[in-house]
Amino acid sequence: MRFFKLPEPHYFLITCLIILAVLIRVFFALYTEKTWEDALTAALHAENLWNGIGLTHFKPDHNPVYGFTSPLGVIIPIIGGIGNKGVFSLIFMKMTSAISGGMLVFLMCKIYESAKLKVNLPLILFSLSYVAFEHHQILWGMAGMETTVITAVIFYFFYAFAINSPINIAIALALALYARPDFILLDIAGVLYLLFWSRKDVLKIVVTAALIYLPWFVFTFVYYGSPIPNTILAKMFGYSFGSTVNFHKFLDLLVPLGPSFAGHGSGYWREWDLGFISIIVFGLFFLGTYHVVTKRIRQLYIPVIFVITYYLYYLFIVSSVFGWYLVPLSAATVLIAGYGLVATFTSFGFAFPLSVIYFCAIVQVLPDNFKAEYQIQHWIENPVRMKMGQYLGEIMLPDEYAGMEPVGYSCYYSRKPIYDYPGLVSKDVVNFLKTNRSAGLCNTLEHFHPQYIVLRHYECQDDDSLISKYHLIKEFKADSRISNIKGIEHNIDIHFKVYKRIDNG
């Protein structure tokens, strides 16, 4: 029961923070009704399983498609769909994310406690409040994605190594791969750590972790033909490999450390501070790292390694860093930055006022951000992509295909097969892009020549070889009030056009 004991003397305050972390997520879900595009992709796999189609995105006469990246992102909706044919799959994912928000606060406390750090008011206001209240720590999990659960898994990973428990470390190593395949980098770092500090246990730990992960590995190999998600191959062949490294990209990776907004899906953009606060927080991370290394606080070695590894990974390797990728990384950065704050500034009396300023900066943007999420969902997603998916479901015959870039809303509400770009749920598109790396959306659609294509109002409009083979049959536009939405200039989904093939076959 020691695990569940919260540190004194702020037991009551931390307990309230854990409860508030859950409640604010529930409020966000109920108020905004936000559902992210990618969440619907995962949910459809789960619903199809419980409706006899299989754990796939397409109809029964197609081979199963491994069209999701995170196993947990589908396993949790599958559990939620038991006994109700998948109806509650998405809701269950959101409920799990809300609980995971509280777990994040709790696990951060336990990590600090394991490092023999007093969880004082500066840490509560700076670090714990960040994972509890920062907008993007809330957004994607409560929009139906696995992001908050993954962040909790990463913090459990940190805790397992902090207390040096072989069984917990083994579970954490396996859970990391269930969270995201690219967390193999974290597992490698963990094993190297064990070789230095717990060599006698490393074989037992690695074998136990492998056995825990083995059922999923075997299942995907047998069911899909490969343990590698189709989404990884799609991004590999559809997006440019590698990254254009520059100082601006580095600063962009830091943006969610401060007040920011990424609800339009086209990256983070800075709030009133122009990103200055996020740079300060990253500076505190380096101060925290300095103290961790010089004072040999082994309990925080793994979080430091994780942060450095994944900033380098996203900076030099990943060309398209989606907003939700940065949520676990940002939380881990703040974990160490909080330690940097108290270790450096407590003796000067600055730690508390700085933590108050940071807390206020993070929470003061929430009302406008929540309002914007509501508007995006009700003024853009519902009248555009949701209605568009429903329309396709009404007009498409069982053996017909549509082609487009976004797939979540379109497939979920149409229940029809789609050639999506870059082939997240389509092996055919991935196979085409393997030999046509620079094809792009327009050439891909022209190659497959589906009965319907759906384009944003600016996509392929100058490509006569494609457009000439189709005629426009329907347009879906966002609500006229969208000019009032915060950062609307960053939204690319306000207008779609549906075209039908002229020759109809």
Backbone angles phi, psi at 476, to 5 degrees: -125, 120
Specify the number of domains making up the chain.
2
| Look-up of token digits 């953009």 | 269
Residue at which a domain ends, from 335, 364, 393: 364
Closest by CA position to 420, among listed 411, 412, 435: 411
**252 in the same domain as 190:** yes
Residue at which a domain ends, from 336, 364, 392: 364
| Look-up of token digits 């925290």 | 288
Q: What is the pLDDT of residue 1?
A: 53
Q: Is residue 5 predicted with pLDDT exceeding 70?
A: no
**307 in the same domain as 396:** no
pLDDT digits (tens, 9 = 90+) for 106-163: 999 999 999 998 899 999 999 999 999 999 999 999 999 999 999 999 999 999 999 9
Residue at which a domain ends, from 364, 398, 413: 364
Q: What is the pLDDT of residue 3?
A: 63
**345 in the same domain as 430:** no
Q: What is the pLDDT of residue 61?
A: 65
Q: What is the pLDDT of residue 60?
A: 62
Mean pLDDT of the chain: 94
Its domain, for residue 307, covers 2-364
Whether the CA torsion 25, 29, 34, 36 is positive or negative: it is positive
pLDDT digits (tens, 9 = 90+) for 274-314: 999 999 999 999 999 999 999 999 999 999 999 999 999 99
**335 in the same domain as 447:** no
Pairing, β 269-270 against β 402-404: unpaired
**132 in the same domain as 26:** yes
Count CB atoms within 10 A of the CB of residue 44: 28
Stated pTM of the model: 0.95
**277 in the same domain as 407:** no
